[in-house]
Amino acid sequence: MIRKQEITTFEFPEDAIIWDVRDASAYAEAHVKGAVNQPITGLSADCLTQVSADQTIYILCGGGSKAPRAAELLDGLDDSREYVVLMGGTRAARDAGLPLEQGA
């Protein structure tokens, strides 16, 4: 199941699994605190084995175009999981003053 949530109104659960699906260089420039780089080009069923089947996977990108595509791809691999697309991505998070990190 895929849901959408505006990143600016999202309250990150303490143990949230957050995948930033941009490439490594964009991720290194700035990413939401706690996000793991999982580039869209490398998403596979193997990636999903790293996350417990009952955990929601939160997905974001830079501005909101790659994350919905990534969620569709993941849902096609395993539609029994819950995926949440964080709309607005890193840019909206930065504009809202949410904490961002730099580096890989």
**All residues at 6 or more sequence positions from 44 whose CB lies less than 8 Å from its CB, including other chains:** 77
pLDDT in tens, 91-100: 999 999 888 9
Calpha distance 11→18 (Å, rounded): 12
Predicted pLDDT at 32: 92
Confidence of residue 76 (pLDDT cuts 50, 70, 90): very high
DSSP 88: T
Predicted pLDDT at 77: 96
Q: Taking CA 96 as the corner, what is the angle to CA 90 and CA 101, rounded to the nearest 5 degrees?
A: 45
Rounded to two decimals, what is the model's pTM? 0.93
Alpha helices in the chain (DSSP H): 24-29, 45-48, 66-77, 89-95
Calpha distance 45→60 (Å, rounded): 18
Residue 104 has pLDDT above 80, yes or no: no
Predicted pLDDT at 61: 96
Torsion angles phi and psi, residue 89, rounded to 5 = 60, -160
pLDDT in tens, 40-68: 999 999 999 999 999 999 999 999 799 99
Q: Half-sphere exposure (CA, 13 Å, Cβ side) for 88? A: 14
Predicted pLDDT at 9: 86
pLDDT in tens, 15-31: 899 999 999 999 999 99
